[in-house]
Amino acid sequence: MNARDRDGEGRARSARPRDGLGRPLPYGAPGVERQPEGVVRSPGETVAQAQRLLDAGMPFHAHEVFEDAWKSGPGEAAPLWRGLAQLAVGLTHAARGNAVGGARLLRRGAGALAGADTVAAGLASAYGIDVPGLIRWAGELARRVDEGAAVEAAAEAPRLAL
């Protein structure tokens, strides 16, 4: 990895552009602007930004928004944001044609949301997140992916809020 593939603190950070599903493109190719890392957002801003990205067919980027919330928010909310990030990555893999990985991550994210402790569940309710609806959505999409359905990310984007 060369110097341009490291951030200011020396951590590995690919400088390659990416497409809307987060796949690396050749250096110099036009790509989709990446989400800045480490952005602290309110829960409402997190949900709104992630929904915009999901609706635009960019679940990989929505996953990055959820990851920021999971890493910067209160620890008791981490299971909620981690589960939502897993759903977004599951949709990413399914849209890329990785049926096994997509279905597995959709189910893992749904399981994380279903098993989230009562504090995280209460926060989800307070944030207006439709956890039961997302669990149903993930299970249905995982089933269809297992059956060989092609997935178009924007068309399959879940509704996060009630």
Tokens 């990989």, residue?
Answer: 60
Minimal CA–CA distance to 69: which of 108, 123, 30? Answer: 123
Q: What's the predicted TM-score (pTM) here? A: 0.86
The predicted pLDDT at position 14 comes to 66
The Cα 11–Cα 24 span in angstroms is: 18
Domains of the chain with bracketed CATH: 1-34 (no CATH), 43-156 (1.10.3450.10)
Contact between 127 and 44 (Cβ < 8 Å) = yes
The Cα 151–Cα 95 span in angstroms is: 5
What is the DSSP secondary structure assignment for residue 157, as one 8-state letter? P
Per-residue pLDDT of 85-133, as tens digits, reads 999 999 999 999 999 999 999 999 999 999 877 777 888 888 999 999 9
